[in-house]
A and B are shown apart, each in its own frame.
Chain A
Amino acid sequence: MLPKSRPSLRLFGVAIVFAILWLLAVGKLFYVQAIQGKEYASKAIQQQSRKFDIPAQRGLVYIKESDGLYPIALNTEVYNLAVDPKFVKDPGKTSDEISKIINTPSDQIIDKLTANTRYAEINKAVSSEQADKLKSLSLPGVILQKRASRYYPEADLFSQVLGYVNDDGEGQYGLEQFANSDLSGTTGRYNTVTDALGVPINSAENTLIDPKDGKSYVLTLDRGLQQVASDALKAAVDGNKAESGSIIIMDPSTGAIKAMVNYPSYDPNNFRNVTDYKLFSNSSVSSLFEPGSGFKTITMASGLDAGKVKPETTYNDTGEVVISGKTIKNAENHKFGIQNMTDVIQKSLNTGVVFVLEQLGGNPKEITAAGKQLFYEYLKKFGLGKVTGIEQAGEVSSQIKPPTTYDVDYANMTFGQGISVNSVQMLSAVSAIANKGVLVKPTIVAGTLDNNGDLIPNKPEVVRSVISSDAASKITQMMTQVVEHGSGWMTRMKGYSIAGKTGTAQVPRADGLGYEANKNIGSFIGFAPADNPKFIMFVRIDYPKVDGFAEVTAVPAFSTVAKELFKYYQVPPSGN
């Protein structure tokens, strides 16, 4: 038998070594693939894939016109213009070139070009035409980043109702903020495998989630009426040397707002230039005020509906009434003696509405807890004490003191002092009178558009029946006397029956100690034709600096707009 050769042993040894190496390799592979597999797989996916957000198109905002829809908020593209100063070769020449194109002084640009930073923003809203010119110059270090923006063709006409969209694509103020989630839609996403340079490549692993474009809104506003109201308001504010003002026009039967303007206003296309941020707010919903005598209509309507007073109910007006030791007087210390309830509204008697509150409590000599409770319940039924729910951001709720408060506070509330409302709440409450006692929710949204561009209309929302049709009719008759023979005479029009009520409210001091000496808010609320109203309008003029009450400051603006409204609604004058 031959001894084992040495080569065989070496071969065996090599085989063993290879076997061990193979086992080590297999072991490592197992460790990498089976144990660390998930971790490496996720790292690989991170390296080899990218996620791209696909922005959704923001919904547009339209108003209805006789020949279709007219857009009042559209989408556009603008560019952020910035520079990386490190790459700017000739700051002087570069700033001159940019200055010519974006119409900004060169000295405001050159600081950015020489700043010690890698990114300096020059302008956030360069138009695509300007961007094309800048691109054609191929200026080193100049950066242009495209992004979505809004364009408002009617500039300041709808500004505070619409709001604007900021540089981050978020709606601010007005409808843009209120309906931001609906308008902005849902961003899509493209998950894709990429090559070594990060360029997407076609792969079965790619996934696409389509963006969902935002809803487009159609508003109830009318462009022509908005312009008429805007012009009249500007004339009233300027003519009365007032600080500001508002006009709101509504269809009382549907709650559809036909015009809503505030002055001063701003151009939402240039919102970056606005320095007074108060201009952004829609003061018709965000600014509370004490309504003053216009509120007497609510008090009287409550008394009539409760059956506690009638138009012919009389009382003795001594010019003042003492409540809990405090004297409440009529405006300008007027006293008229025996007066009926129509006189109370026509002559705007504070003592008369306090009398109504006393009647509500069942005791003609004093204000009772029951009277306050009943009055409070009526105020709630008129929708006061909470927001109306109109589609506007920043609506502020009106404030009503509870019935447990002092009698004198409730006495003051009867003529609109010590109670605060916003303009839409005031309009909405009185619209219940115009609408035969039924309160309808005010709205500026007529509906949304479906995928085919067809309107899905919103239905008018009846809130509740507030007072009886009979009570509404009686208070309406009283309000017509205000226009025919009272403080609303300046809006009297031959052949037209207008119901209305003026209010000249004092302005509470900021420290809570009484009222400002020389400030008032003049207002007029009215509807027409009185027996079958086509519109209700509220005019408010803040802090006029002319002598006189609301009949001088607010009524003329109402009259101007009402004349146009009769033409708009094609209401012919009656023969009477």
Chain B
Amino acid sequence: MTSATALRRNQNITRNKLSFQTGPFSVGLLLLGFVIVLSLLYLNQITKTSVFNYKISNLQNTQANLTTEKQKLQIEAARVQSLAQAKANATSAGLIKTDTVSYATAH
């Protein structure tokens, strides 16, 4: 008997079909897992949103502070350029007012 014949003789002629059965417990477990995954995703998004909100809030505060700072600087700049300040500076620098102006004549 050849080896090929022997193989044929030992060959299964029936095949058992693989079956995957889910009972109530496993379905419940799967659903629970699914809910947990979704919850984690949701929490992740909420956390991200909160972080972004916090960043936006911080940026808005920074913007407001900068606006206030800019206003203060504008005021200070205007104050030091005011005529009253200029007069005081001119006096302290010993500057005097010109009374006469001479005009160059074009030829």
Chain A contact residues, CB within 8 Å of chain B? 70-72, 74-77, 128, 151, 153-155, 157, 202, 223-224, 227, 567, 570, 572-573
Shortest beta-carbon distance from A56 to chain B in Å: 13
From B49, B71, B84, B101, give the contact of A77 (CB < 8 A): B71
B20 lies within 8 A of chain A by Cβ: no
Task: Report B34-90 residues with CB < 8 Å from chain A CB.
Answer: 49, 53, 68, 71-72, 74-75, 78-79, 81-84
Q: Indicate if the CB atoms of B83 and A227 lie closer than 8 Å.
A: yes
- In the complex, what distance in Å separates the CA atom of A71 from the CA atom of B74? 9
Q: Indicate if the CB atoms of B83 and A75 lie closer than 8 Å.
A: no
- In the complex, what distance in Å separates the CA atom of A74 from the CA atom of B81? 14
- In the complex, what distance in Å separates the CA atom of A155 from the CA atom of B82? 9
CB-CB under 8 A from B103, the residues of chain A are: 570, 572-573
From B49, B79, B84, give the contact of A202 (CB < 8 A): B49
Considering the complex, give the chain B residue whose CB is closest to the CB of A570: B103
- In the complex, what distance in Å separates the CA atom of A572 from the CA atom of B78? 33
Shortest beta-carbon distance from B95 to chain A in Å: 15
CB-CB under 8 A from A128, the residues of chain B are: 68, 72
Q: Indicate if the CB atoms of A202 and B75 lie closer than 8 Å.
A: no
Q: Indicate if the CB atoms of B79 and A153 lie closer than 8 Å.
A: yes
CB-CB under 8 A from B71, the residues of chain A are: 74-77
Can you pick out 23 interface pairs between chain A and chain B where the beta carbons lie within 8 Å of each other? A70-B78, A70-B81, A71-B78, A72-B78, A74-B71, A74-B74, A74-B78, A75-B71, A76-B75, A77-B68, A128-B72, A151-B78, A153-B75, A153-B78, A153-B79, A153-B82, A154-B82, A155-B82, A157-B83, A202-B53, A223-B83, A224-B83, A570-B103
Shortest beta-carbon distance from B39 to chain A in Å: 19
Considering the complex, give the chain B residue whose CB is closest to the CB of A573: B103
CB-CB under 8 A from B68, the residues of chain A are: 77, 128
CB-CB under 8 A from A71, the residues of chain B are: 74, 78
- In the complex, what distance in Å separates the CA atom of A276 from the CA atom of B95? 37
Shortest beta-carbon distance from B81 to chain A in Å: 7
Q: Known interface pairs A202-B53, A567-B101. Does A154 touch B83 (Cβ–Cβ under 8 Å)? A: yes
- In the complex, what distance in Å separates the CA atom of A570 from the CA atom of B101? 9
CB-CB under 8 A from B81, the residues of chain A are: 70, 153
CB-CB under 8 A from B49, the residues of chain A are: 202
Considering the complex, give the chain A residue whose CB is closest to the CB of B99: A563
- In the complex, what distance in Å separates the CA atom of A72 from the CA atom of B78? 8
Kindly list 13 other residue pairs between chains A and B, CB separation below 8 angstroms, not including A76-B75, A567-B101: A72-B78, A74-B78, A75-B71, A77-B71, A128-B68, A128-B72, A151-B78, A153-B75, A153-B79, A153-B82, A154-B82, A157-B83, A227-B83
Chain B contact residues, CB within 8 Å of chain A? 49, 53, 68, 71-72, 74-75, 78-79, 81-84, 101, 103
- In the complex, what distance in Å separates the CA atom of A567 from the CA atom of B102? 10
Max count, chain A CB within 10 A of own CB: residue among B53, B78, B84, B101:
B78
Q: Indicate if the CB atoms of A74 and B83 lie closer than 8 Å.
A: no
- In the complex, what distance in Å separates the CA atom of A155 from the CA atom of B53? 43
- In the complex, what distance in Å separates the CA atom of A223 from the CA atom of B103? 24
Shortest beta-carbon distance from B8 to chain A in Å: 64
**Which 10 pairs between the two chains have the least Cβ-Cβ distance?**
A153-B78, A572-B103, A153-B82, A567-B101, A151-B75, A71-B78, A153-B79, A227-B83, A74-B74, A74-B75
Shortest beta-carbon distance from B18 to chain A in Å: 44
- In the complex, what distance in Å separates the CA atom of A182 from the CA atom of B71? 20
Shortest beta-carbon distance from A489 to chain B in Å: 21
- In the complex, what distance in Å separates the CA atom of A397 from the CA atom of B82? 35
- In the complex, what distance in Å separates the CA atom of A77 from the CA atom of B71? 9
Shortest beta-carbon distance from B98 to chain A in Å: 8
Shortest beta-carbon distance from A228 to chain B in Å: 10
- In the complex, what distance in Å separates the CA atom of A128 from the CA atom of B64? 14
- In the complex, what distance in Å separates the CA atom of A482 from the CA atom of B74? 48
Considering the complex, give the chain A residue whose CB is closest to the CB of B103: A572
Max count, chain A CB within 10 A of own CB: residue among B68, B81, B83, B103:
B83
Q: Indicate if the CB atoms of A155 and B84 lie closer than 8 Å.
A: yes
Shortest beta-carbon distance from B70 to chain A in Å: 10
Considering the complex, give the chain A residue whose CB is closest to the CB of B87: A227
Shortest beta-carbon distance from A377 to chain B in Å: 44
CB-CB under 8 A from A573, the residues of chain B are: 103
Shortest beta-carbon distance from B48 to chain A in Å: 11
CB-CB under 8 A from B82, the residues of chain A are: 153-155
Shortest beta-carbon distance from A528 to chain B in Å: 16
Considering the complex, give the chain A residue whose CB is closest to the CB of B85: A153
Considering the complex, give the chain B residue whose CB is closest to the CB of A65: B81
- In the complex, what distance in Å separates the CA atom of A188 from the CA atom of B20? 62
CB-CB under 8 A from A572, the residues of chain B are: 103
CB-CB under 8 A from B72, the residues of chain A are: 76, 128
CB-CB under 8 A from A154, the residues of chain B are: 82-84
Shortest beta-carbon distance from A465 to chain B in Å: 35
Considering the complex, give the chain B residue whose CB is closest to the CB of A563: B99
CB-CB under 8 A from B74, the residues of chain A are: 71, 74
